[in-house]
Structure formats: C-alpha cells, structure tokens
Structure 1
Amino acid sequence: MAEAEGSGLSPWSALVGVPHVDIAPHRQPITAEIALPGSKSYTNRALLCAGMAEGRSVLTGLLRSDDSFWCLDSLRRLGAGASVDGTTVTIDGLGRRRPRPEARLYIGSAGTTARFLPGLLAAGGPGAFTVDASRQMRGRPMAPLLLALRQLGADIDCPETPDAPPFTVRGVSLLGGPVRLSGALSSQFISGVLMAGPMALNGVHVIIDDHVVQRDYVAMTLDMMEQFGAVVEADADLSEMRVETGGYRPADVTLEADASTATYFFALAAVTGGTVTVTNVGTATRQPDLRFIDVLERMGCRVTRRPDAVTVAGPTGGRLTGGIDVDMRPLSDATLTLAVLAPFADGPIAIHGVAHIRKHESDRIAVICAALTALGITVEERPDGLTVHPGRPTHGVMATHDDHRVAMALAVLGVAAEGVRLQDPGCVSKTCPPFFDRLADLGIGVTVG
C-alpha cells in the first residue's frame, strides 16, 4: 500500500508539512475551564466493538485523530457503514459478516488497532485480510499477541517481518478456548485476545501467568465489551478472564475526554500558578492517567475532584514540591508530563517503573533525558526511569521523534521556561490534533513556522 511508505498521517492530521512550532514563555497564571478531545483508548475500543456489532451504534465525543481515522477507515474497507458528524459517529456494524473478503487495511501508527483487529478478523467471516501500517508501527513486534491468537486457532501470516505488520489474517480460523498470557509486557495484547472472545466459536478463557502491567486498561476493555453486550467474567485481580461466545450488540456510547491529554493542561496550572478545570473527565473514569492529579497533590497543588470534572490549582507557595519518588508504571503515559514539571520543583524527582515506555513511539526515557540535558537540566537515566534535578531550562530547538507525548510535554516545559521550538509538531495528531490551538486559546504564544 502506498500509505505504508509514510508516517501514518491521515485527513484528520494537523500541521501537515509544518516544519516547526514556536512556544513562547508565559509569565501569568493560566486560568481556564476546558473540554478536551475524547479518549484515544475508549474511542478505538468503542469503534471496533461497534464495527463488530449486529446493528447501528452511535458514539459521541469521538476523538478525531490519526489513530481513530485509520480505525474507522479499516471498518469501512471491511464493509461497515460509518458516517461522521463533528465528534459523533454512526456505525452500522458487521457482526461476523465480511462483505469485502479480500480487504486490504491500513492502520497508520494506531497501536490499539494493530493489537485489537487481528483477533476480530480471525473470528469473523471467511476472507483473507491484509493489514499494513506505518514505518513506526511496523517496527513494533506483537509476538505474544500473535502467538496467543495462533494457539486459539487464528491463521495469521507475517510475510515480511516476524510478528509485525504487514500481516494477513484469514477469517473463520479463531476457535477460541483457554490461553495463557504474560501480563507484564502490554495490556493491549490481553485486550486483543479478550475483544475477539465474543466472536470466537468457543469464547476465550485468558489466564495470566504473572501480573497485568496496566490492569486499568484491561478493565476498560472489559467495560466497553460489556456495554456492547458481551458476557464476561473476571477475577478481581484479572488473573483469569472468561468471555462467552455470542457476538456484540449495538450500543450508544458517550466517550469521555482523554485523561492523558488532560495531564498537560493540569501541568500548565501547576507551573504557572493558575487554575485549570477539565470539564469532561473526572473521578468516575477508569483511565489510570487521571491519577496524575494525586502526584500533583504530592507536589503541592490543590485538586478538586468531581465524578465528571477535575480542577487543579498551582501550589500556594508558588514553587512545586520535589524530593519525591514516584512509581509511574500504572500511569506511564504521564511520565513525560512529570519529567518536564520536575525542573521547577524545589528538589529532585525520581521516576521509576516505566522501562516499557522505551518501546513506545520513541524510547521515551532516552529522548526526554537527552532533551532535558540539552536544555541545561541535570538528569540521571536508569533502565526503568530517571531522576530530574531542579534547574532553569534554557530555550532550545527540540526534535519530537514523531512522538506525540514528547511534543506535548516539551510544549509545557517551554511555557514554564524560556520557550521552545518543536520540530515536526504534527505528530500530536496521533491523539490531540488541536493541541496547539488549545494552547493558543489559553493565551499562550504559539507561532506556526
């Protein structure tokens, strides 16, 4: 496919071809109420469940990002109906039918789609479905997932790179049954097996041999499956999970804001001494990254919690509290947000438990350590994290490494320090295409180069 030669950009991408964005320092407290784009994790789970349901579903609060575009595009190429109006999408699901049994699908850099789609294809109707991805996604092998699916009967062939896209999946091959998985590598591998369960001939019985590294995301998967009529049973610690056969039913679902994206706006309140309320995600969420507000409280911020909204105000003393050690494993997508706040604290901040983020869109530990060092901050890098010492970051021209979280975190740092130029800023389209527009709406100087 021609798309596979590119970076995974979609018609929903922002800043295509823009070489850089300049973020100016902001010396006044930022005070705002803001509704943020929908959760990437919930959006792609809901899209795929709706696409595999028998009938029409309506999803509101859709995240219009590269990942969700390619997920929707794959459903359409399989023959599902999908119409989008703003942030509402209406999907006429396929069930097990495959009207286009020779479909070629392109998923861009959508990691969730890459992990969730193979089992759903194998459990569906007859056909041979070729799934390809961006260069970045091609470099992220999925061996544990594909091994588990093959043990359940799935016919999956990877002709170019072992256990990575592109791959071909043949339908009516997933029998289901019991399978053992490690939970220490990726919650998405577990979710990929579970989501196929309602469509597998014998359902699935997933047994975890160790522990689930991010159990909240598996719980989110089970919740979404149940909203679409799946029958699931799980132990409290998610060591065993059973999914009955029976398919998915259509559902109307409202998607909450992305808690990972919210961390950057809470961080802006923390470093400017302002007050930011995110109005469309709160303590009722399953998203683990909302627990970032607990870390901010340890750093002296004032937090007001409601089931559907959260307010963060900067520390009363004006300086963030350091001298803390934080296990970020449960909320690892917020690691870089904490790393860029750390220079502005009154003592070092140690982060650990996140060795797995070295294998995300970039080696996030190495990248943020190099960036902070280049800006004059003392950093100690470890295999599973880093320690950041207090300092005053200088202005810098920073690579984003085609990583949305690197770009958004460094933008926060630029606001709090002396500004920053971010190269290739369009990577934010993976999860928050309007990110820089939202910064400008808050009064922050944003210049598109």
Structure 2
Amino acid sequence: MDSGNTAWLLASAALVCLMIPGIAFFYGGMVGSRRILNMMMMCFGSASLVAILWVLFGYSAAFGNSLGSLGLLGNPVEFFGLEQLLTEDPAAALPGALFAVFQLMFACVTTALVAGAAAGRMKFGAWMVFAGLWAALVYFPVAHWVFAFDNEDGTVVGGWIANMLGAIDFAGGTAVHMNAGVAALALALVLGRSRGWPQVVSRPHNRPLVILGASLLWVGWYGFNAGSALSAGHTAAVVFLNTAVAAAAGLLGWALMERLRLGRSSTLGAASGLIAGLVAITPACGAVSPLGAVAIGAIAGLVCSLAIEWKFRLGYDDSLDVVGVHLVGGIIGTLLIGFFATDAAPNGVSGVFYGGGWSQLGIQAVATVAVLAYSFILTWAIAKALDLVMGLRVPEEHELKGIDLAAHSESAYFNDDEPAELGAPARQ
C-alpha cells in the first residue's frame, strides 16, 4: 500500500464528512428561526442512521459482487458487519476499511441533501424512517450502478452504468446530486405545500449561517471530488483544479443572472451559485479541461438561478431548492460531459467539441434518465406508503408556530429574560 495515497484518502474522507455540518448550516440558515434545530437534526440524524445501515448491509449492496450479471445490486450480505475489512490485504492498493468509510460519507451526504425539500413540515420520526428506507432502496442500488467497477481479473462484477454502459460520473453527478434532487421532488409532491405557500414564503433567518455552510461545503468538496481519484497524483490535481474554477464560475454566473434580472447580486445567490457550480462539475471533473470546467460552472450558475423559480410555476414546494440546484445542476454537469470532454483529461474521452462525436452524449443521457426514473418512482412510493401508514406532516399548529419546540422541546434562540427551554430546567 502507498502511504501517500492512504493519507490523501484519509484526509478526503474527513473533508467529505465536513460536508454534513456544511449542509446542516446551509439549510439551517435558510429556514425560519423556529425551524433551524429540526433542520439540523434531520441532517445529522439521517447521516447517523445511514452510517449504521452501511455497516450492516449498505456497503455490501453498493460494492459487493453483483447479484446476477445485470449489475443492478451488490450482494447485501457479502460484507455484513464489515468484519472482512479488519484484516489487511497485502495486495490491495488501499485499505478496504478506508475505501468503505470514504464511500460511507457519500451515502450520508446524499441522504442529508434530500431533507431540504421537507423543511419545517415533516415529522422527525417519519423523516428518519424515510431516510433509512430511501438509503436502502434507492441510494445503495444506484451507488452500485455508478461507483462499483469490475475487477480486472473478473472476480467481482460491478454496476451496469459504470461497466456496461460506460457513462462518465467521476464523483457522483448521477448517484448523488441527481438522485437526491429528484428524490426531493418526489418527497415534496407527496408532502404537499407548506401552509400559506406560495403567498407566504419563509425567508432565510440567518444569512451568515448560509455562507458558513456554503464555505464548509466548498472546502469539503475538494475531498469529495479529488478524493474520488483514490490516489494523490496527477488525476487528483486536475480534478482539484477543475473543481476550484467551476465553483468560482458558478458563483459569478448566478450573481450575473441576478444582476441582469433583479438589479442586484445577493449573498444567498452567491452561496447558491457556488454550490451549483460544484454540483455540475462533480461528474465532469475528471473529463474536462479547466476552460471546460469554467464553462460548465458558469452555465450551471446561470441556469440554476432560473430553475429555482420553476417551483412557483409548477406548484411544488421545494423549500430549500434542492431540485433547482442539485437536480438541475447534476443534469447539466452529466450531459455537458458529452460536449466538453477532452481525451487530454484523466478520463480520456472526447466529446462533441473535441471531435468525439455524439456517442458519449447519448451514453450520458441514458444514465441520466435511468437514475431519474428509478429514484423518482421508488422515492414517491416510499413516501406515499409512509404517509398512509404513519403520516408525514406535522400538525398545522406546529408547522405555523415552528417545529423546533414541538419536535425537540428546544429553541435555537431566546431572550435573556425568558426560560432557556419551555418546560425544562435551565442549564448551567
């Protein structure tokens, strides 16, 4: 094993873990002041649950040997409990436990992203059950499709998108961002609109928290993308560079669109544009040149800034714009590989603009449609079943007054002359 590569992936796993509090702060600042604790608990709670499921069967379902030859699902009991990873394999390039924990962070981040569509109106218990079922039935299979590659000796058969289809998704445009974005859409449709929406729209209560969350995500994203190279070398360096410039272009693109449409550029828009650029470059970071990364980031910033308005026209209440940023940004990045990919980049594939023809674009489109269809249908079915069995919505009174006290018996903010917690002793 190469100690440098091992050290880089250890650091990358920690950086991706940093994205979980990044999502919590980003989402928490965007909701009302009486909903922030519930929003953060949804992020941390789902991530914790997914971590346990990953040990039990999630890693096996995602990276175990495929059941059958179609590459649809890994054997969910192959690595049950992950005890096999405790013994060092001298022939392995990286410790198996390290790869498992790196990919665990991807599963946690993806599930937490979906929470943004349910802000302030979903029972916490129902969310936790939903998150567990969604990870097991949606994320783990899709991760197998996209991230599980066949072994060179043929002893392990991986997922169909990675091996049979040959779509390029370096770090999760399909498995993470499109998957979470379309799941958020399905969940929002089953949950229904917030009370009073769209006439009454909840405003971000703490924009500095949004900026803090975006900053943590920006830093963590370098581990997310460059860590996916699985080595500290040329590929990781190119991916790191492409990620940096795409994020900057996304911020500038969103700010420019706001300036043209509204006459001003907002801090919330800048943070959202940054995330849009990062989302879009995630699948393409190993396939394009730095100029291609700038183009993809800028296009994502421009288009996603318009896409967040679709919810008002189409009537779905995606509270924190998971659809407009992650779904749309993921689609943009995945499809634009078909245009901007260059064989000089680590993936070694050329798109339309570099003389590669239209075939790669067609492959990217098939992967996109497959993930969107599977995730939307399964997510809608899970949410609908839970709504019938246990109910998803909090009572209207709790929704209107804020869910923090009702769900967690806590408030994020209080005056000095008020008790710290309603009905609870003050803490020293």
- TM-score, with normalisation over the residues of structure 2? 0.28
User: Structure 1 or 2: larger strand share?
Assistant: 1
- TM-score, with normalisation over the residues of structure 1? 0.27
Higher RCO structure (Cα 8 Å, ≥6 apart) = 2
User: Structure 1 or 2: larger helix share?
Assistant: 2
